[in-house]
């Protein structure tokens, strides 16, 4: 087994030992989806949303929100707490390189978030009759890109935050604007041109629209793919640049 896979397995075991972090990173979004789906108006066709059921549009939003929670509530806090507790300092004496450490965190987060996404798609289909993505390969590509973008942002927060508590505060400051532009409180269909343009350039806004497009059977737009890829490269590069062992 390669050093990356060994470290990923170890990091996954350590992550699953943190019940509060695991709840918000993995369980909160599926629970929120169930709560929203139980509201009768969410299951009725809405003329304001193009005669589409709100739950159909909100499933990609909640899926994307789950990624953001994992990145900004789970991944960033866990990584920053490692630094605070001296775990990273002790790892510095080993042959582990920063890129391998960041890669292990990224791989762990991606695998666990995909499992959560599959759970939410299953809940949506079986409990609320939400259609599965019509262009599944494009949906998975869009999901992977928004996940990588958000995890890169989460790792950047972790790289900059000296403690787990400060990572939590910084993560919250980033989380709420991002989920707003993702359409959690104001659906993208109701945003004006200015808000929609900003949303298109954010990782979650671009991700939500790509997931909604592929669910409806369309290919994601290039601007949204470029936005997510850009966030991945820039935030990931900065995370590696400002990585600190202690």
* pTM summary value: 0.90
Residue 15 lies in a domain: yes
pLDDT, one tens digit per residue, over 73-109 is 888 888 788 788 887 777 777 777 767 877 888 889 8
* Structural domain includes residue 65: yes
pLDDT category at 14 given cuts 50, 70, 90 is confident
Write out pLDDT tens, residues 125-151.
999 999 999 999 999 999 999 999 999
pLDDT at 136: 92
In a domain, 69, yes or no: yes
**Residue 155 belongs to a domain:** yes
Amino acid 198: pLDDT: 97
CA distances from 48 to 109, 187, 188, 190 (A): 36, 10, 12, 8
- The total of structural domains in the chain comes to 1
Residue 246 inside a domain? The answer is no
Cα distances (angstroms) measured from residue 85 to each of 39, 154, 211, 221: 43, 19, 38, 43
In eight-state DSSP terms, residue 134 is S
Residue range(s) defining the domain that contains residue 9: 3-241
Read off the DSSP letter of residue 73. I
- Is 42 within the bounds of a domain? yes
Opening angle at CA 67, ends 42 and 179, nearest 5: 60
What is the average pLDDT across 192-217?
96
* CB-count exposure of residue 217 (10 Å: 0-12, 13-18, 19+): exposed
Higher local confidence (pLDDT), 37 or 155: 37
């Amino acid at each position: 087994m390669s050093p990356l896979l060994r470290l990923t397995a170890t990091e996954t075991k350590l992550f699953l030992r943190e019940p509060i972090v695991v709840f918000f990173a993995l369980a909160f979004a599926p629970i929120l989806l169930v709560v929203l789906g139980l509201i009768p108006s969410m299951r009725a066709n809405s003329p304001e949303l193009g005669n589409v059921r709100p739950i159909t549009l909100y499933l990609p939003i909640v899926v994307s929100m789950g990624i953001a929670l994992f990145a900004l509530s789970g991944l960033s806090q866990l990584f920053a707490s490692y630094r605070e507790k001296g775990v990273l300092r002790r790892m510095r004496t080993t042959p582990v390189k920063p890129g391998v450490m960041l890669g292990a965190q990224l791989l762990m987060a991606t695998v666990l978030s995909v499992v959560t996404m599959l759970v939410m798609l299953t809940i949506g289909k079986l409990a609320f009759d939400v259609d599965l993505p019509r262009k599944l390969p494009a949906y998975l590509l869009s999901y992977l890109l928004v996940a990588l973008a958000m995890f890169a942002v989460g790792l950047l927060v972790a790289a900059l935050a000296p403690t787990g508590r400060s990572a939590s505060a910084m993560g919250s400051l980033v989380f709420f604007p991002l989920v707003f532009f993702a359409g959690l409180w104001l659906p993208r269909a109701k945003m004006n041109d200015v808000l929609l343009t900003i949303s298109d350039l954010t990782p979650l806004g671009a991700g939500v629209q790509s997931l909604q497009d592929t669910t409806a059977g369309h290919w994601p737009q290039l601007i949204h793919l470029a936005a997510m890829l850009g966030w991945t490269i820039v935030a990931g590069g900065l995370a590696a640049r400002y990585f600190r062992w202690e």
